[in-house]
Structure 1
Amino acid sequence: MDERIERVAVLGSGVMGATIAAQLANAGLRVLLLDIVPKEATAEERAAGLGLADRAVRDRLATAARAGLERLKPAPLYLPAYAARIEVGNLEDDLPRLRECDWVVEVVLENLEVKRALLARLAPHLRPDVVLSTNTSGLSVNALAEALPEPLRPRLLVTHFFNPPRYMRLVEIVSSRFTDPAVAARMAELIRVRLGKGIVTAKDTPNFVANRIGVFSLCNAVHHMVELGLTVEEVDAVAGPATARPKSAAFRTADLVGLDTLAHVARNSYELLPGDEQRAAFLLPGFVGGMIQRGLLGNKTQGGFFRKTKGEEGSQVLFFDHRSGEYLPARRPRFASVEAAKGIDDPGKRLRAVLAGSDPAATFAWRNLRDTLLYAFNRIPEIADDVVNVDAAMRWGFGWELGPFEMMDAIGVAELVRRAEADGVKVPAALYGVPSFYSEEGGKRRFVDLAHGGGWLDVPRPPDHLDLTVLEKAGAVVERNAGASVLDLGDGVFCLEFHTKMNAIGNDVLAMVHKALRRAETEGRGLVIANQGPAFSAGANLMLVAMAIAEGAYDEIALTVRAFQKAMMAVKYARVPVVAAPHGLALGGGCEVCLHATAMNPLAETYMGLVELGVGLLPAGGGTKELALRAVRLAEQYETDVSPFLFKHFTTIATAKVSASADELRGMGLLRPGDGVTLSPDRLVHDAKARVLALAANHRPGEPATDLRAPGRSVAASLASQLWNMRMGGFITEYEEKLGRTVAGVITGGDVPAGTAITEQWLLDLEREAFLRLCGEKKTLERIQHMLKKGKPLRN
């Protein structure tokens, strides 16, 4: 039997079905998207002479869903062109085509009888080796399996994607009592590796893992808000990053989910969980039902717990006052406990700082977390067999920085018990005596096996998951300073890891670049540049640049730029292959590091660009030079004019364009032929290491280019003419025109005739000189200061 899955049918083209189809297409799978046949033709279709017998009408819902993918925000496709991988049809004419499919995903209405009826209709059209899954968020997979003929029941399981499927990492896999364990294991591996998802194995209980705990926590937050007399705005001030949870906190998360959806899941929980010790928490206060009746459902209705309005004086954020039933202007409440947590990077320490407070925010945080953490403890082994799955579900599905059991370790299990007892809250007997839920031993992370008597087990880790944190604790660090480390990944491959705030690049990082290269060149076979922070690198340390400009320390700036350029050239011309593995933000200097590597292996969700013009500067760590050089080499390769290639790369810099995915980097000229893209964050370092080993056998170090032919002043003049037209049209400011002219002068090789022989070092010198000139501009300093204060560019 062929175990490969290449062809997938998605049944149901609503937002969830269409966006699951998009993620499958992102992964290179071929997709057949089907929906019901409309009851009648539209007026437009009838005017075109079409009726229900025509496929254009019969396939309308799926066709419209595929077309709508390009308009959805955030974008579900890595590239709009990937929509071509999705064929469309309907659930009457195209059921026979299901025999072509290796995997069939049902994503129709969240109604048990509707789903059972569809599964029964599908059965005659499915191959005996097909994998059949349902995207239910909480319906019983056992009840669904019973609608299938017995031979198909072992092939059915739940694959619960979280919305939006491209960006939310969690997929819950739930087996029925009939499911073949080999099928479940195979699908877990496919979804983890091919689709890049985090897999949580859940049990067939209402709402599974993430929604069971997440919705309880949200409902509990509503009740404590009312009891403490707080507003939704005050609760969200503390229920977000201050307590290791996402920026959407509690009520903005409810707006994202939709109040109707939240109420539906809560109501189902109450009805289906008669034995739940916290069942009453799922009964939401009456004002929530009143909001739903008024159509205040959250983001999808432009108003829920929060609403944004636009007026003559700009936009204004309002919050729903549950006491008056009206919207009030947001006041941005401040609490001492929340302020105490600001600036603390470690989420556990941040959480403890808030809980140490005595103001209303700290009181709310304690009560909500106390109840949520005890609730999570009581759910094992009911909803999952171990703490690892529960913690992963909340991190990947609800965006928590720490899962419930990781939070308990951060607070201290004994301290949680002590405070809960002082409140008169019943503490589960099994919690007494638990020292912690996780420990480190021999470089391995272990967890308490609550389901089988409390012994210790190793946290499962696939062999292709190279976790830098685990490696560090196992003694893999061979070099370290305040800004970066070098780790031994084994097999002669080393890893350069940044660990500054947002992995900004400063002198410590640059010094470690050289140490990492020396280590790899003398003791190994190659180097990976990667880290596991929230961003690969946000670029150079902008605060240090601003301080140096304010102090007039231009010699110091020149030395730093020269050091950056020297480090990048060392990377580019290393005697061993260097593979950069960016993820998340890779901006400015972070992008320049990647451009100089031998190869790049980015995570699919990589947002990369040379953004320096946004702060009134130009890429001077070799970024402008590298794009100029690539344009010249492409023109030589194709024996054609350099201008089209150069204009494209100039635009990348001049517009400070940032990729919306790693796949978009190819069109920007930043990702080269042969560079791979990894969808699974767990595999990123592994894949980069494998790339290093593949390159090492035949690596041929290069030499700095000395044979370049400058595009010259005539091409620069053409670029300047375009900039002038843009300023005259009101598209750019006068200063932006000046910045563009500066970039044009560098990327074309300076004020020289076309064809003048120049070197790579010549371009680096032009970069550095232009950077220093711009540092002396008042408007550049204004741009830098605005970015530091507001977090967005100033167009002066």
Structure 2
Amino acid sequence: MIQINRAAVLGAGVMGATIAAHLANGGLDVLMLDIVPKELTDEEQKRGLTLDSPEVRNRIVEAGRQGLLKIKPAPLYLKKYVDRVEVGNFEDDLARLSGYEWVIEVVVENLEIKRRLFEKIIPHLHPQVVLSSNTSGLSVNEMAKTLPPELRKRFLVTHFFNPPRYMRLMEIISCDEADPELVSDMAEFISRRLGKGVVYAKDTANFIANRIGVYAIYRGIEHMMEMGMTVEEVDSVAGPATARPKSGAFRTADLVGLDVLAHVGNNSYANVPDDEEREVFKLPEFMASMIDQGKLGNKAGQGFYKKEMVDGKRQIFYYDYNSGDYLPLAKPKFASVQMVKQVDDPRQRLKTILGGADRAAEYAWKSLRDSLIYTFNRIPEIADDVVNIDNAMRWGFNWELGPFEMLDAIGVDRFVKRADQDEVQVPEALREIGRFYRFSEQGGKEYYDL
């Protein structure tokens, strides 16, 4: 079993800093490094500091560390854990990396920038270090080409979901030359010490959760526009009524950031040329306009939703993609959605709403139909089995049921027959499956191996 007590994080942006915080939550001693500033601030000039002053050289990384005390939700279990995070920079402190057993790269999502950083740190790493990247979708094997053969054996992607303290999912993607035993040991360590739910993904664009989750949002947008529904109406359906989180589709997008969502979609479009649904990943024109206008979601104070004070009261508005204006919430009450509000079992909720006869039920069916077929077609491309995909969607996007659990809840035969009625192309392999999960005579849960 691998033992890790000291970890270094390369990058002190929001993601890097909050990963460092969660490592500190797990009892690890952490070193966080980032770039050296190129210019003095006005305050630094007034104080007579120079670009050689240690305080200036560590200004960016220290700001990341201090930000951990202000971010909400709190990334640290206890504020005093911030003391477990030491800071430094990429110019003065690389030699310190030799004392750390795990080094995690969390810099900007640019392959060349990551490669240059790896080249810079390689001479300073411990001989038995585990090196990982937190990339959300770049190729682990392309990054590995920069590394010497011996280090490739200990190189993998460890993709934390944001915010790391609260999101359970950890996607692990190993490069072709990684030592399988080490990868298994790291998965066990991350699960036990950091409390993560680990899934194993393939080296494909955006891995599992983002590939499926962003497809579901983008395809849902297409159905929304075709049916003339509003953002608010869609969210009333695409939440708990269909076994997904309260944030629905568009509040989730606001939480993630429209720019981040666009980056994931663009990455899929660029890197999956043979995907039968590739065109879905094209950024919708109205979203491109929103991004150009700075309507990026929660971090910008406005996205698909915004809050304003009206006559002394806080009022929420939703974005009207037809006019480009914000409109007051209308609080839609679809009969099919109302029917499931008091239903606790997500499986029963799903079956009930899909049996409805209003626009909400129609939207629920069309959006889920396409997402579930798309997901089925991704095995073995993005993962080897249904369990890893179901876990990824439950732990990474807070779905109550994974895609294959949804198919079981609907009934695979019933799903196929209804899709056939829509004249939608159904995978032949899906027609041969009765269900994806069952319990053995001994009471253990088994899954269908595709």
Do Structure 1 and Structure 2 share a fold, with TM-score over 0.5?
A: yes
Instruction: Write the letter of the residue equivalent to 1:424.
Output: E
SS of the equivalent of 1:421 reads helix
Alpha-carbon contact 1:391-1:404 (below 8 Å) kept: yes
Q: Corresponding residue for 1:417?
A: 416
Q: Does 1:449 align with 2:449?
A: yes
Q: Corresponding residue for 1:183?
A: 182
Q: Corresponding residue for 2:222?
A: 223
Q: Does 1:398 align with 2:365?
A: no
Superposed, 1:615-634 pairs within 5 Å as none
Superposed, 1:349-360 pairs within 5 Å as 349-360=348-359
Structure 2 CA distance for aligned equivalents of residues 164 and 68 of structure 1: 14
What is the aligned-residue RMSD (CA, Å)? 0.8
Q: Corresponding residue for 1:748?
A: none
Alpha-carbon contact 1:128-1:151 (below 8 Å) kept: no
Structure 2 CA distance for aligned equivalents of residues 11 and 198 of structure 1: 23
Structure 2 CA distance for aligned equivalents of residues 212 and 99 of structure 1: 36
Structure 1 CA distance for aligned equivalents of residues 284 and 108 of structure 2: 27
1:407-439: CA deviations, max 9, x gaps?
Answer: 000000001101111001000011012000000
User: Rg larger in 1 or in 2?
Assistant: 1
Alpha-carbon contact 1:132-1:157 (below 8 Å) kept: yes
Residue 284 of structure 1: how far off its partner (Å): 2.9
Q: Corresponding residue for 2:36?
A: 37
Structure 1 CA distance for aligned equivalents of residues 279 and 416 of structure 2: 23
Residue 41 of structure 1: how far off its partner (Å): 1.7
Residue 286 of structure 1: how far off its partner (Å): 0.9
Structure 1 CA distance for aligned equivalents of residues 371 and 332 of structure 2: 24
Q: Corresponding residue for 1:366?
A: 365
1:281-304: CA deviations, max 9, x gaps?
Answer: 111321111111111111011100
TM-score normalised by L of structure 2: 0.99
Structure 1 CA distance for aligned equivalents of residues 284 and 311 of structure 2: 36
Structure 2 CA distance for aligned equivalents of residues 341 and 281 of structure 1: 30
Residue 389 of structure 1: how far off its partner (Å): 0.2
Residue 311 of structure 1: how far off its partner (Å): 2.7
Structure 2 CA distance for aligned equivalents of residues 3 and 350 of structure 1: 43
SS of the equivalent of 2:206 reads coil
1:559-597: CA deviations, max 9, x gaps?
Answer: xxxxxxxxxxxxxxxxxxxxxxxxxxxxxxxxxxxxxxx
Residue 178 of structure 1: how far off its partner (Å): 1.1
1:89-110: CA deviations, max 9, x gaps?
Answer: 0011100000000000000000
Structure 1 CA distance for aligned equivalents of residues 127 and 177 of structure 2: 15
Structure 2 CA distance for aligned equivalents of residues 280 and 357 of structure 1: 30
Q: Corresponding residue for 2:116?
A: 117
Residue 3 of structure 1: how far off its partner (Å): 3.7
SS of the equivalent of 1:439 reads strand
Instruction: Write the letter of the residue equivalent to 1:449.
Output: D
Which 4+ stretches in 1 moved above 6 angstroms? none
Q: Corresponding residue for 1:46?
A: 45
1:606-641: CA deviations, max 9, x gaps?
Answer: xxxxxxxxxxxxxxxxxxxxxxxxxxxxxxxxxxxx
SS of the equivalent of 2:194 reads coil
Residue 183 of structure 1: how far off its partner (Å): 1.5
Instruction: Write the letter of the residue equivalent to 2:363.
Output: F
Residue 312 of structure 1: how far off its partner (Å): 2.7
Instruction: Write the letter of the residue equivalent to 1:192.
Output: S
Residue 243 of structure 1: how far off its partner (Å): 0.4
Residue 42 of structure 1: how far off its partner (Å): 1.1
Residue 111 of structure 1: how far off its partner (Å): 0.5
Alpha-carbon contact 1:172-1:202 (below 8 Å) kept: yes
Instruction: Write the letter of the residue equivalent to 1:447.
Output: Y
Structure 2 CA distance for aligned equivalents of residues 66 and 313 of structure 1: 36
Structure 2 CA distance for aligned equivalents of residues 3 and 249 of structure 1: 39
1:707-758: CA deviations, max 9, x gaps?
Answer: xxxxxxxxxxxxxxxxxxxxxxxxxxxxxxxxxxxxxxxxxxxxxxxxxxxx
TM-score normalised by L of structure 1: 0.56
Residue 263 of structure 1: how far off its partner (Å): 1.0
Identity of aligned residues (%): 60
SS of the equivalent of 2:158 reads strand
Structure 2 CA distance for aligned equivalents of residues 80 and 128 of structure 1: 33
1:370-402: CA deviations, max 9, x gaps?
Answer: 000001100001000000000000000000000
SS of the equivalent of 1:75 reads coil
Structure 1 CA distance for aligned equivalents of residues 86 and 98 of structure 2: 15
Structure 2 CA distance for aligned equivalents of residues 339 and 207 of structure 1: 35
Instruction: Write the letter of the residue equivalent to 2:361.
Output: A
Q: Corresponding residue for 1:213?
A: 212
Residue 198 of structure 1: how far off its partner (Å): 0.3
Alpha-carbon contact 2:2-2:186 (below 8 Å) kept: no
Structure 1 CA distance for aligned equivalents of residues 164 and 223 of structure 2: 32
Q: Corresponding residue for 2:406?
A: 407
Structure 2 CA distance for aligned equivalents of residues 4 and 400 of structure 1: 33
Residue 313 of structure 1: how far off its partner (Å): 3.2
Structure 2 runs not aligned, ≥5 long: none
Q: Corresponding residue for 1:202?
A: 201
Alpha-carbon contact 2:7-2:31 (below 8 Å) kept: yes
Q: Does 1:430 align with 2:448?
A: no
1:237-278: CA deviations, max 9, x gaps?
Answer: 010000000000001001111111111111111111110011
Q: Does 1:240 align with 2:239?
A: yes
Structure 2 CA distance for aligned equivalents of residues 311 and 66 of structure 1: 37
Structure 1 CA distance for aligned equivalents of residues 127 and 374 of structure 2: 41
Higher normalized contact order (CA 8 Å, seq sep 6+, divided by chain length): 2
Q: Corresponding residue for 1:59?
A: 58
Alpha-carbon contact 1:222-1:284 (below 8 Å) kept: no
Instruction: Write the letter of the residue equivalent to 2:274.
Output: G
Residue 4 of structure 1: how far off its partner (Å): 1.5
Instruction: Write the letter of the residue equivalent to 2:243.
Output: A
Q: Corresponding residue for 1:389?
A: 388
1:494-516: CA deviations, max 9, x gaps?
Answer: xxxxxxxxxxxxxxxxxxxxxxx
Q: Corresponding residue for 1:521?
A: none
1:633-667: CA deviations, max 9, x gaps?
Answer: xxxxxxxxxxxxxxxxxxxxxxxxxxxxxxxxxxx
Q: Corresponding residue for 1:288?
A: 287
Superposed, 1:540-619 pairs within 5 Å as none
Instruction: Write the letter of the residue equivalent to 1:397.
Output: G
Instruction: Write the letter of the residue equivalent to 1:51.
Output: T
Alpha-carbon contact 2:131-2:154 (below 8 Å) kept: yes
Instruction: Write the letter of the residue equivalent to 1:334.
Output: K
Structure 1 runs not aligned, ≥5 long: 451-796
Instruction: Write the letter of the residue equivalent to 2:443.
Output: G
